[in-house]
Each structure stands twice: as structure tokens, then as C-alpha cells.
Amino acid sequence: MILVRAPLRISFVGGGTDLPEFYRKHAGRVISATIDKFVYVLINPTPLVDKFTVKYQKTEIVDHPSELEHTRLRAALLDLGIVDSGIEVGSFADLPARTGLGSSSSFSVALVRGLHAYLDRSLSKAEAAEAASRLEIELVKEPIGKQDQYAASFGGFNVFQFNPDDSVEILPVLLDYQMRSRLEDHLLLFYTGITRLASSVLGEQRTRIGEHFGTYREMAESVPEFSRRVLDGDLEGMARMLHEGWLRKKTLASGVSSSLIDSLYETGLSAGAWGGKILGAGGGGCLLLLAPQPGHGAVRSAMADLARHSGLAGFKEIGVRFVQSGTDIVYNNQHRRSRPE
């Protein structure tokens, strides 16, 4: 049995500049940090059950991977040539999908790491990030970028730079425990209870990159400044940049925000938050706010009141801490068979 764990992430600024329509012309940059919420993928050989069994929100039992409905699993198994039956793959997660925390890419990184381990191969962080990006973008044709695969694979607080030649540079933002803890203490994360598919928002966004090229360039260029503010512990400055980034992002596609999301965000600001943004592609998912600590109670109750009046049954605060670990094989009891050392 092989168990792989991949963290979710909070992306601060630069999201969208990891799409090839942008970074092939101008280097894209994203700054993000992984959090203590994880996706787990479990892979187990089943010698007596001559099937492919996959378990996620539903269970599928098929004779050949090409019959699977789960797009990423189907593509990954076929691509790696795992077509001899007798394997089960299950996925588990601390949080549901579609929260804007990059969970589908975390799943993909964990899956490719696990399937390669099943084939007795070890992938580096960069190889796993690239393999997961290829799986999602080339094989499954998701209209997404590469930032989440890199964030989940490497782990920690990082700036990722996406170069026109398709190479990716990883620049860690080396925060000490005091800075990390201070940032955690001022951060509020709310699951809005509004769900959306990243691909539905990103699909439109991608076709309109040419129209908004200047905005993307500003977003990519704001990343080093945000990184400096993180290192300086300038929380209000960070919040202001999140706010500006969110205003820019709303102009990029029609589905990024909605009147309900806008009023949730504005309620947070009126209750005292310095700034924030909707995480991920937008259209729903999680709302991140930075707020002075004595005001957290006021922000929480104002947001919860509005959510209740708006009928958002799933609305909930999520407590988060940052983690340094990326995607890890936390258990592997398969014997290394053939590889000489």
C-alpha cells in the first residue's frame, strides 16, 4: 500500500499569470503558501480482485481504466500504462473540492507521485509538479496553469516564476517562525459555501488574455513587492495589495465575482478587515481576509450574519496554519524490487 499526502495552498497574488497564453510572452509570477489541510491518495494492489477500483465521492469498479469516469485517474493510469487490473485507488481530503485552495492539482500531484511509486519509481519535486501539470493541462485539457501543481509538490511559502521557455523557477520566501505565526494570527479564511468549477471561470479568462495583457503584466510584476512585504511583516501593505489584486482579477472574466461574493467581501471590510480576496479562480470557494487581531470577532460575526441571511448553508470559517511540507509519500510498504542502489 502507498499513501501520499499533498497540501492545499493559499495563493496571494499573480494567479492567472501561470497560463501559457501569458507566460510564453512575459514571465508569469505567483506567490503562494501551503496550509495544514491535505488531500490523500491511497494506492493498493488487489491481487484477488481482477478490477480497477477507484473510490472518491463515488466508487467505480471497471475492467479497464479507459472505462473510468474520473478524468484525471483515467488519463493517469492509461498514460503510465497501468492497464493490468488488480489495483485500487482512493482519495480522501480534509476539505471538499472547489474551495479555491488548489485541491484538484494537489490530488494530481499526489496521484502521479503515488502511481510512479507503484511502478517502483521515485519522482523529484520538480518532476512530480511537471508530471501533474502535463496530466491536467495536456492530457485532461483543463484550462488551468501550473502554479498549483508546483505549490503542492514543493510546499512552503514560495514565489514561482513561469518563464517563456516553459521552465519554472522556485524562489522560497524564507519566513521565520515569528513572521509565519504573526501572519497566521491576522488571517481569516472563510468558506463561502458557494461552489464553482475553476475550469468554468478559467475557460473564459483564458480566451480573453490578449484583451487584458497589461493587467496580467501588472499582476506578475506585483509579486516581488508582495514578497518584500511578507518578509517585512507589513500586514496592512499585504492586505492592500491583495485588495488591488482582487479588483484587477474581477475585470478578467465575468464569473470571477458575483453580487453575493462582493457583498461578503465588503461586509468583511466594513467590519474592520484591511483587505483580502477570493481564492483560486473565483466565482465561489474561499474568501481570505487580513484583519487586525482585536477586530476578528467583529469580522466573524458580520460575515456569519450576512451568510445566514443569504442562505449560505455551507458558510464556515476554516482555521489554517502554514506548512513547509509539500507532497510526500508518507507510507510505502512495497518492497523495492529490482532497482539496484
- Residues lying near another protein in the complex (CB under 8 A) are found at 5, 122-125, 155-156, 172, 174, 176-178, 181, 323-326, 328-330, 332, 341
Residue written as grid cell 478559467: 202
Distance CA 136, CA 11 (A): 19
Least Å from the CB of residue 320 to another protein:
14
- The β-bridge partners of 51 are none
C-alpha atoms less than 13 angstroms from C-alpha of 16 in its C-beta half-sphere:
36
127 versus 244: smaller Cβ distance to another protein: 127
Least Å from the CB of residue 118 to another protein:
14
200 versus 332: smaller Cβ distance to another protein: 332
Least Å from the CB of residue 36 to another protein:
8
DSSP conformation class of 25: T
6 versus 312: smaller Cβ distance to another protein: 6
Tell me which amino acid residue 230 is. V
Q: Is residue 52 within 8 Å of 64, Cβ to Cβ?
A: yes
92 versus 263: smaller Cβ distance to another protein: 92
Tell me which amino acid residue 328 is. D
Distance CA 81, CA 185 (A): 47
85: burial class by Cβ within 10 Å (0-12, 13-18, 19+)? middle
Least Å from the CB of residue 311 to another protein:
33
| Cα separation values, 114 from 80, 117, 122, 154, 329, Å | 12, 5, 9, 16, 7
Least Å from the CB of residue 130 to another protein:
14
22 versus 118: smaller Cβ distance to another protein: 118
